[in-house]
A and B are shown apart, each in its own frame.
Chain A
Amino acid sequence: MRRAGRVVLIGLAVLLLGFAGFLAFAFRPEIAAQASVPSLEPAAVEHGRMLAEVGNCSSCHTTPDGLPYAGGLAVQTPFGTVYSANITPDPETGIGQWSEEAFRRALREGVDRQGDHLYPAFPYDHFTYASDEDIAALYAYLMSQPAVPAETPANRLMFPLGFRPLVAGWKLLYFRPGALTADESQSAEWNRGRYLVESLGHCSSCHTPRNALGAEERAEAYGGAIIEGWYAYPIGATSPAPIAWDVDSLTQYLRTGFVEAHGTARGPMAEVTANLRNVSDEDIRAIATYVASLMGQAAPATADEAAESEAPAAPPQTAESQVVPAAATGQDVGAALYAAACSSCHASGQPQPFGGLDLRRSTALFADSPQNLINMIFYGLPAAEGEPGPVMPGYAGAISAEQLVALVDYLRGAYTDRPAWTDTREIVDATMAGTTTAQIYSTDGVRRDPVVPEPRTQ
């Protein structure tokens, strides 16, 4: 008994020592609060504004109906809900008391002014690569914003993740603060693009799959991931785009959110491209140069298909080609639905954006997940307020689950040579039930609720 008791006591002591050691390891000192915001150079503020557009800061730190950078956006993660911080210079509820040193530590090391670890929903694993000058400019820009008193809601994370020192363990496994070293074998433009993409752009935060602990799978960098109800396509060597992207098409897409050979951004990329509109042409081209190099050379087959499908689909030449199969059951449902509901726009031969995208060019059809295609058919692409833009009617109230599955599977088989999707029914059910919701964005990057009061539930 006594011996067992001693073993237990020693075991407890070891645990306590280990825990204390871990706490010591996780400890970060508080940085003194600054009394007032320092004077800001206009040039730095302007440079910082441009960097904030690249970093897409507002998409997390501004709620759809909130004031700029006042935070409070609920970010859903597999571990619970994290709320974005108020990064206006408000002294009580924002970062008004943060010196530049505190701000730099937050971006470089993921630690706030008080010494608490930040959850990696804030992508400091990318911001750590930002240069001193850029961090200083970003600081100047944020400090120049109007201060908004807005308390950030408390996070709702699964136990025990509310205990912030645990993040130090995550960082030990998955995070190394550091800097990018230029690749001398590449052009200055490529290096500039790499810097922007890997640091503030944090593109792989969405476009790379994550492991069970929420860290990016480095081995599958840019391999695509489901985020916010949309599938962020692979943008590396496994890009599914039927026509290969190049520097020119990527530049146009990033600047405008639209390019004829690929379609239009109406998911979260709409917000990204809306922000990039305010970034210099050189920087956008640099980003495009780097991303195009990630994608590598187009495979010969793709290049041939690209040449062949450059011309829009010819309009139907005879009445026969417009006859809809009479059967609305069994195998032909998908074909019948396409012919009846979709082909009038999508096979019209009208150039983008007046006609529907020629489906032979649709990345959504070639991707590994049918989620984006289902989103578009189900919710449609509503018009933007007071500005022209591509639109598509949604079929949420009219189409049943069986019909949507049939249509989606038919399109995959008819327009691609890829293997059939195996999870169509599951994704259709989740989308129809509202378990998976996707935000539709206007072409100006403004979030638009899917314009459906309630989708069908069968």
Chain B
Amino acid sequence: MTVTLNVNGVDHTVDAEPDTPLLYVLRNDLELNGAKFGCGLGQCGACTVIIDGHAVFSCTTPILMLEGRQIVTVEGLGTIDDPGPMQQAFIDEQAAQCGYCIPGMMMRAQALLNENPAASEADVRRALHPNLCRCGTHIRILRAVLRAGAAMQNGGAPSGAAS
């Protein structure tokens, strides 16, 4: 079956079985390897992407649901040469150890900040609840998200200096 998915602003026509989880299509068909497979059950958040503004587990979302939806992955937040505020904040706070949970954390955080750039630490903690990190960089991730929120409120100007 062919499905048209709008990913990071670009339409892609994908030929895959309708019950294929979005995660597999992103990685195998579109080679967008930011989203990661952690559990396949919607319990770890490593696969989190944004669909129509909402953070969603791409491992439990079959593409059959997604015709015509706007999907944003971590690749849509910026590039290596021109990182977006979220990515720059994570770099500045050195918030990754192994990095496996990070794209999912960024996407869920981005969904929160898109709604409320002035989110408090309590808001961020509550919002990131579904995302697990096994290396223990939670505190840095929190700081990075708050830093990104501040940057977004200041018109998206990323801070260049590491903390």
Contacts and interface: CB of A to CB of B under 8 A. Distances in A.
Interface of A: 324-326, 328, 336-337, 339-341, 380, 382-383, 391, 393-400, 403, 449, 451-456
B51 A324 contact: no
Contact of B54 (A393, A397, A449): A397
A398 B64 CA distance: 11
Nearest to B61: A398
Contact of B41 (A325, A336, A391, A395): A391
Contacts of B60: 341, 393, 395, 398
Nearest 8 pairs of A and B residues by beta carbon? A393-B42, A397-B54, A340-B19, A340-B62, A397-B56, A324-B19, A393-B60, A398-B61
Contacts of A451: 129-130
B5 to A, nearest CB: 13
Given A382-B130, A398-B61, A399-B65, A336 B54 contact: no
A337 to B, nearest CB: 7
A391 B55 CA distance: 19
A398 B48 CA distance: 11
B126 A398 contact: no
Contacts of A455: 54
B18 A454 contact: no
A451 to B, nearest CB: 5
Given A391-B41, A393-B57, A453 B111 contact: yes
A391 B51 contact: no
B41 A398 contact: no
Contact of A393 (B19, B43, B65): B43
Interface of B: 1, 17-19, 41-43, 51-52, 54-57, 60-62, 64-67, 111-112, 115, 126-127, 129-130
Contact of A453 (B57, B65, B115): B115
B42 A328 contact: no
Contact of A391 (B1, B43, B67): B43
A328 B64 contact: yes
B130 A456 contact: no
Contact of A396 (B1, B17, B54): B54
Nearest to B52: A456
Contact of A336 (B42, B64, B129): B64
Contacts of B51: 397-398
A383 B112 contact: no
Contacts of B1: 326
A341 B60 CA distance: 7
Given A324-B62, A336-B18, A393-B60, 19 more contacts: A325-B18, A328-B18, A328-B64, A337-B62, A340-B18, A340-B64, A340-B65, A341-B64, A383-B43, A391-B43, A393-B41, A395-B61, A397-B52, A398-B56, A398-B60, A398-B65, A454-B115, A455-B54, A456-B54
Contacts of A391: 41, 43
B112 A453 contact: yes
A340 B126 CA distance: 30
A403 B65 contact: yes
A54 B17 CA distance: 51
22 contacts: A324-B64, A328-B18, A328-B65, A336-B18, A340-B18, A340-B19, A340-B65, A341-B60, A341-B62, A341-B64, A341-B65, A380-B42, A391-B41, A391-B43, A393-B42, A394-B42, A395-B60, A397-B52, A397-B56, A453-B55, A455-B54, A456-B52
A132 B62 CA distance: 59
B88 to A, nearest CB: 23
Contacts of B57: 393
Given A326-B1, A397-B55, A449 B65 contact: no
A453 B42 contact: no
Nearest to A326: B1
A329 to B, nearest CB: 9
A324 B17 contact: yes
B37 to A, nearest CB: 14
A332 to B, nearest CB: 10
Contacts of A339: 19
